[in-house]
């Protein structure tokens, strides 16, 4: 049986799914046809019900809940891993100042946008860009500030940018849960037995990657574009953890908290 799978090309996703996609584990006759998209593209695809299984931002779940079921494995969720708001000119993290800036954001439906809107609800001047374009937009002065996710969290200081606010810290302090960045969802029309099997296979794929870290190296490198090896390792270390194996009660609670928050 073949299933369509859409994930991001980021190291955490390729690390998690390598064993599953390349049959390093026994998939029980399931084959996953994988395609790669930016996280906001993934959110849009989920809204349009385009794939059987997808990686999505937790922030988009209220819009897709009727059609997709959150799986227990494969999530990007944790502590100290939230989006970071940065600028070329150092600005204080004062609400009236930040809310007056033009800010680049990695997609309307991303969790990063959701948390930014909780912290600074009065922001009106927003530029929605692909996450990998935001750092340069700030450096070139096309925006006053940018909301960084993924590998840019590790590179902005070396390029002379300044942190205004760590929105992961804001989330953890305010809501007392890990930051629920993203998760894996499956179409509700799939049978319960099949969804459970997919969930189990993703869990096995994560564990295989942990136990055989060199196995996924080429798959991760090919899709990480020009990312430096040390940044790839930092990326995986930050975003792939025990919550990627299983959300557990704490992970599910974090997702529920985010789903209950409202934004301007």
**DSSP three-state, residue 193:** helix
DSSP 144: S
Residue 150 known to be catalytic: yes
Residue of 124, 79, 73 whose CA lies nearest to 98: 124
Q: How many CA atoms lie within 13 A of 240 on its CB side?
A: 24
Please state, in angstroms and rounded to a whole number, the distance separating the CA atoms of residues 204 and 117: 36
Residue of 264, 60, 260, 79 whose CA lies nearest to 166: 79
Residue among 114, 150, 223, 235 flagged as catalytic:
150
Q: In the numeric block, which tokens belong to residue 200?
A: 């189990």
Active site residue ranges = 150
């Amino acid at each position: 049986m073949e299933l369509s799978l859409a994930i991001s090309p980021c190291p955490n996703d390729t690390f998690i799914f390598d064993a599953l996609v390349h049959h390093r584990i026994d998939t029980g006759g399931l084959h996953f046809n994988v395609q790669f998209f930016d996280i906001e593209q993934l959110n849009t695809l989920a809204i349009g019900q385009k794939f059987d299984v997808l990686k999505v931002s937790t922030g988009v779940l209220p819009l897709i809940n009727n059609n997709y079921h959150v799986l227990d494995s494969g999530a990007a969720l944790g502590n100290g891993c939230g989006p970071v708001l940065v600028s070329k000119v150092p600005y204080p993290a004062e609400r009236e100042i930040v809310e007056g800036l033009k800010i680049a954001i990695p997609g309307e439906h991303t969790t990063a946008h959701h948390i930014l809107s909780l912290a600074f609800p009065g922001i009106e001047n927003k530029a929605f860009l692909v996450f990998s374009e935001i750092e340069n937009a700030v450096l070139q002065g096309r925006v006053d500030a940018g909301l960084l996710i993924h590998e840019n969290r590790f590179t902005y200081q070396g390029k002379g940018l300044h942190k205004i606010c760590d929105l992961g810290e804001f989330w953890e302090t305010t809501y007392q849960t890990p930051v629920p960045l993203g998760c894996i969802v499956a179409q509700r029309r799939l049978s319960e037995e099949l969804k459970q099997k997919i969930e189990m296979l993703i869990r096995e794929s994560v564990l295989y990657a942990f136990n055989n870290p060199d196995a996924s190296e080429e798959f991760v490198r090919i899709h990480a574009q020009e990312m430096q090896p040390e940044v790839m390792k930092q990326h995986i270390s930050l975003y792939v953890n025990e919550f990627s194996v299983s959300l557990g009660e704490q992970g599910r609670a974090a997702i529920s908290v985010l789903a209950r928050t409202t934004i301007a």
